Amino acid sequence: MVHAVHGHGAPAMRVEDERLVTGRGTYASDWNLPGQLYAHFVRADRAHADIVSIHVDAAAKHPGVKRVYTGEDAVRAGYTKYLVLVSYTGRGGSHIIKPARPMLPTHRVRHVGEAVVMVVADTPVAAQDAAELVRIEYRDLPAVVSAEAALAPGAPLLHDEAPGNLAFDYESGNETAAAAAIAQAAHVTRAKFTVTRVAPNPMEPRACVLRYDPDDGTYHVHVCIQGINMMRKQLSAITDVPEDKFVVHARDVGGSFGQRSAAYPEYTIQMLAAKELGRPIKWTSTRSEGMASDSHGRANLVEGELALDRDGKFLGLRLNWTADMGAYLSVTGSASHTRNPTACMTGVYRIPALYGRFRLAFTNTVPVAAYRGAGRPDIAYVIERLVNQAAAELKIDPAELRRRNLIPPEAFPYKTPTGSTYDATDLPAVLARAVRFADWKGFAARRAKSEKAGKLRGLGIATVIENTGAGLFPRDEVEVELLTSGEIQVFSVSHSQGQGHETTFGMIVADALGVPLERVRLRQGIKPLFGNHTGGSRSTAGAGSVCRIAALKLIEQGRSFAAEQMEVEPSQVDYAKGVFSARESKKKLSLQQLAKVKPFSVVGEGSVGSTFPNGCHVSEVEIDPETGVTRVVAYHAVDDCGNVINHAIVEGQVHGAVVQGVGQILGEEVVYDPGTGQLLTGSFMDYCMPRAGLIPGIRMEDSPIPATNNVLGVKGAGESGCTASMPSVANAVMDALRPLGVNHLDMPMTPARVWRAIQSAKIGN
């Protein structure tokens, strides 16, 4: 049965916030262990080069230095593998090519910022000073920094085992049917879109404090994560140390957006040092180091064709997708650019014929991994821009064109041509509500007003759906413990990076038990239970549902204990609001009283597949044609994320994700120099992070239709804001510029690019 959480209300603030905003959070670099040493990494200063020699003697002799590690140490330890999630086959039964990712390279560097040497010393300063004494002799090789260039004949080759730099050739859908639909269509809209490479930039820099315990051979890893099991699995896959020999310690994590799910090479070299030197090893990344070595996100080039009949009905969609994987495959990157976009390749529309080809390329850049949305914003961006372009070409109102093609409510559950089954929702209702909410009809008057003030005004829309993550592990476990104090502890292995699970998971348990939220405390990552990390906006549907299942199990177990205490049969015992009562004897026993005599815990488990959050976001921009500066002047979001546990948190999630999406459309981009492969956006002086003032106000409404595959009826909420905001705002900018004759513009739609487009249109280019 689908259950909405209510009755105990949402707290005025997230329960974790007081701790976090008063500086009492414990982030990875807050860990300090007795006797710890400090690591500093020497990183490649070039994009592609053979290593001729590495000279570490001077560094090793520097005062305070304990040991200098190179790739030879990693190879000697057998640390030569890397975990990549994709195991399915591609086009024609082909396999993904997974070249070894060296923990520290011995023969060749493949991107600027790749760690080559680790210096360990008594102090961070000694380690850094000594690192400057390391001399690496390179033989430079030509570099390639874009996927398109990497796949072109004659491009510099990164890995011998990947001819033509092709990591994977994947396809989905029916190629013949899509080709036929396009050939027979009354109209075909065609465009090529860049989805830029961006840097996730969580607030907390990456850090790791690693201790080895020789007594039982365990490695204690204090690190920023999305969940302990994912980290243990990867570290074990790289090092062959059994998973149960890793104790991962993490309390607060200061953002991730997909970036903190990986076991990065640095951690495994710290393992070597911690064991050999018998002292904990601490490393904290600097912001610039992070820019050049933390995984990046997105980075696609997509050619799209949308076929329509005379009435604007969609007949077919064909995509040719080229993704940049960077120098090595990351754990999540290849799935983010194949399986994830294909799961919702039809978008919110009935499109009978679909085909997508996805080619993943190696380039001399930082590996690309999942980034908020992980492929879903990319596919939504392409589809939604094509739909708006088609609307403009056919002179149909973009909301009306959508209305004609939306999957109707009666078609749900809807099996898409690429094999997903969309759960329940009402797409026309979401669209109608968003159009009303944003005062779509009043736009012409607002545009006229802007024009009077010398500004261009554009209206953008995106109607999107996405699949939430299916999870790496087939089920989730949650333990709920009744302590002697009467407090209820909830143990989960999914790990909040800012999503507010202490509040929402606490609310779910409090609601199921009928007790105040203050009595429930979430402890994340403390107990090694089975289950998934936080990612793919699946934690609430997955671990959150199991919080309810486990809480109900606690009541059942408690019922028999209470029956014993009250000397009645369990079937005679009722439970409500934290109190067991015997039906006939009228005896009562509260959870708190039971806890004093019989503290106990239960483990609940459950399996939940994908949910399908969806929404319609309508945005308006104003552009100053003199400067090209774009301002988002209105933003209205209607989202169906199923039953909502905590509206304030969902709103916060949507706000954050919307701003991340708009940041990418209007400014953010990681740029590598195509000639040298140098990173040109290595600091916040060059990389345009979105600021708080980017969007004046986001207005949001829930349009919930409960999911049917989990006991809470929730759908994910953590990423959908990105998925919708990217196409919505890009469509708004295009709507403002199209009347001037600008028919195409790629992100980032920076002032310079917008201004140039306006000038080119004026002179007829």
Residues forming the site for ligand MCN (CB under 6 A): 202, 255-258, 372, 497-501, 504, 534-540, 544, 641-646, 649-650, 653, 656, 714-719
Nearest approach, Cβ of 604 to ligand MCN (angstroms)? Answer: 17
Nearest approach, Cβ of 519 to ligand MCN (angstroms)? Answer: 19
Supply the DSSP string of 135-194, one letter for each residue.
EEEEEE-----SHHHHHSTTPPPS-TTSGGGEEEEEEEE-HHHHHHHHHH-SEEEEEEEE
Pairwise CA distance, residues 389 & 394, whole Å: 9
Measured CA to CA in angstroms, residue 665 lies from 215, 245, 384, 742 at distances of 53, 44, 14, 17
Between CA 630 and CA 416, with CA 618 as vertex, the angle to 5 degrees is 125
Nearest approach, Cβ of 539 to ligand MCN (angstroms)? Answer: 3
Nearest approach, Cβ of 541 to ligand MCN (angstroms)? Answer: 6
Pairwise CA distance, residues 729 & 620, whole Å: 7
**Which of 141, 54, 59 has its CA nearest to residue 106?**
54
CA dihedral 58, 60, 64, 68 (to 10 degrees): 140
Supply the DSSP string of 356-408, one letter for each residue.
EEEEEE--SSPPB---TTTTHHHHHHHHHHHHHHHHHHHT--HHHHHHHHBPP
Measured CA to CA in angstroms, residue 534 lies from 83, 231, 653 at distances of 18, 12, 14
**Which of 266, 144, 136, 130 has its CA nearest to residue 205?**
266
Nearest approach, Cβ of 47 to ligand MCN (angstroms)? Answer: 28
Pairwise CA distance, residues 291 & 201, whole Å: 8
Of 517 and 595, nearer to ligand MCN (C-beta) is 517
**Sign of the CA dihedral with 521 first, then 524, 526, and 527 last:** positive
Nearest approach, Cβ of 507 to ligand MCN (angstroms)? Answer: 8
Of 316 and 716, nearer to ligand MCN (C-beta) is 716
Number of residues assigned to the chain: 765
Find out whether 234 and 79 touch, Cβ atoms under 8 Å: no
Nearest approach, Cβ of 152 to ligand MCN (angstroms)? Answer: 32
Of 2 and 688, nearer to ligand MCN (C-beta) is 2
Of 199 and 308, nearer to ligand MCN (C-beta) is 199
Pairwise CA distance, residues 87 & 95, whole Å: 8
Nearest approach, Cβ of 142 to ligand MCN (angstroms)? Answer: 35
Of 113 and 544, nearer to ligand MCN (C-beta) is 544
Find out whether 227 and 219 touch, Cβ atoms under 8 Å: no
Residue 640, amino acid: D
Q: Which residue is listed with tokens 């200061």?
A: 254
Nearest approach, Cβ of 205 to ligand MCN (angstroms)? Answer: 14
Of 39 and 641, nearer to ligand MCN (C-beta) is 641
CA dihedral 172, 176, 177, 180 (to 10 degrees): 140
Of 273 and 717, nearer to ligand MCN (C-beta) is 717
Of 39 and 637, nearer to ligand MCN (C-beta) is 637
Of 316 and 656, nearer to ligand MCN (C-beta) is 656
Of 184 and 708, nearer to ligand MCN (C-beta) is 708
Nearest approach, Cβ of 386 to ligand MCN (angstroms)? Answer: 25
**Which of 662, 765, 641, 621 has its CA nearest to residue 710?**
641
The token pair that represents 37 in the structure block: 């040493």
CA 427 to chain centre: 24
Nearest approach, Cβ of 706 to ligand MCN (angstroms)? Answer: 9
Nearest approach, Cβ of 503 to ligand MCN (angstroms)? Answer: 7
Of 69 and 257, nearer to ligand MCN (C-beta) is 257
Of 643 and 750, nearer to ligand MCN (C-beta) is 643
Of 258 and 531, nearer to ligand MCN (C-beta) is 258
Neighbours of 393 (CB within 10 A): 14
Q: Which residue is listed with tokens 């890009």?
A: 730
The token pair that represents 91 in the structure block: 């086009």
Cβ neighbours for 445, distance < 8 A, ≥ 6 positions apart: none
Helix (H) or strand (E) holding 342: helix 339-343
Pairwise CA distance, residues 191 & 382, whole Å: 9
Of 312 and 471, nearer to ligand MCN (C-beta) is 471
**Which of 289, 284, 202 has its CA nearest to residue 30?**
284
Q: Quick one: DSSP state of residue 525?
A: S
- The region that residue 480 occupies, defined by phi over 0 for left and psi between -120 and 50 for alpha, beta otherwise, is beta
Nearest approach, Cβ of 410 to ligand MCN (angstroms)? Answer: 24
Nearest approach, Cβ of 607 to ligand MCN (angstroms)? Answer: 16
Pairwise CA distance, residues 401 & 396, whole Å: 6
Of 90 and 254, nearer to ligand MCN (C-beta) is 254
Nearest approach, Cβ of 402 to ligand MCN (angstroms)? Answer: 24
Nearest approach, Cβ of 636 to ligand MCN (angstroms)? Answer: 19
Cβ neighbours for 704, distance < 8 A, ≥ 6 positions apart: 640, 641, 642, 643, 644
Neighbours of 247 (CB within 10 A): 16
Pairwise CA distance, residues 195 & 301, whole Å: 6
Of 297 and 304, nearer to ligand MCN (C-beta) is 297
Nearest approach, Cβ of 187 to ligand MCN (angstroms)? Answer: 37
Nearest approach, Cβ of 548 to ligand MCN (angstroms)? Answer: 12
Of 356 and 536, nearer to ligand MCN (C-beta) is 536
Pairwise CA distance, residues 581 & 29, whole Å: 49
Of 15 and 103, nearer to ligand MCN (C-beta) is 15
